[in-house]
Structure formats: structure tokens, C-alpha cells
Amino acid sequence: MSIFSNRTKVTPVAAPAAENAAGSAAGSVAGGVANPPAEKSDEQWRQELTPEEYRVLREAGTERPYTGEYWDTHTEGVYQCRACGTELFTSKEKFDSHCGWPSFWAPLAEGNVKYIHDRTLGMERVEVRCGNCDSHLGHVFEGEGYGTPTDQRYCINSVSLKLVSADDAAE
């Protein structure tokens, strides 16, 4: 089932057609290890995140295009949720969409992200959130004509991500 069908839902929707089996009820799977769900108070999030991270991750803000740390990065590695460390995307699925934000054609594992219909700003979009801590990551778009295996573009805020390079992970 596509995440773009039945646009009348307000609750999280089904995963994209090109889904991977992953995740669990106890928390999302990151590199094969389950992360306990991140349950923190608003005050705890404010203490742990910078004001910009808080605005984007906890208040569903958006960073300006072409300003984020990873919009034009080609480093091999895994992109984690900046708020809780859940592994979300890899560099293997990252592509140059020239939109000003990091773009991926699929998440690392469907259980690590969730989808919510977003009707803000007078548009119908599908918001992407961390499946573990419910932080806002960005949006996913379909049918834009990119030559990717899923015909989807996960347009993700750099400030929502932390890149762990393949070199750093090997240490």
C-alpha cells in the first residue's frame, strides 16, 4: 500500500510500497539493536537540543534550503536521528535532487520512520517522523520524475540528522 493513498487519514499511514521489514513494538531497530522509545518532557528536549534543533525536530519547523550541513554531502555512512540516535537513512539511498535539502529514495528500515498526513500551509503532504522519538524529519514526495527505484523523495532537514561516516563507524 502506498503512503499516498487515502489522503483523508490524519493518523500515521502505511509504509511506502518499497518497504523493508524492520522495527518492533518495543522501539525502532537501529543497526539490529532495538532502541527503547524516547519519552522525554518538553523541558528535557529543550535542554538537550539547540534552539534550531528544537524548532525543527520538536515543533516541525523547516531549515532554509541550501543552508543545512548535509544537503550536498556525499560521505558514505548512516544518517541517525539527531534527537535520539535511531538510524534512519544511509548514503546508499541518498541522491542529488537539487532541492536544497538532503534527499533519499527510501529509509533504512520502515519501522524507523513513521508517516503523518500534513495539511499545514494549505498543502497536502506526507510528513516523515522518527519512529522512535516522534521528531519531525521532513516530508516525502512521490511522482516527481526522479530516476530512483521508488519514485519517492524523502526531503529531510539536515538539522534533524547526524551523519556517522563509514570511517567513524569502523573505529
What residues are labeled active site? 155
The residues, ordered by sequence, that sit 6+ positions from 84 with a Cβ below 8 Å of its Cβ are 35, 38, 130, 132, 133, 135
Phi, psi values for residue 42, rounded to 5°: -55, -40
* 37 secondary structure, DSSP code: P
Which of 129, 126, 125, 124 has the alpha carbon at shortest distance from 114? 129
Q: CB–CB of 87/30 below 8 Å?
A: yes
CB atoms within 10 A of CB 99: 14
Please tell me the distance from the alpha carbon of residue 115 to that of residue 127, in angstroms, as a whole number: 6
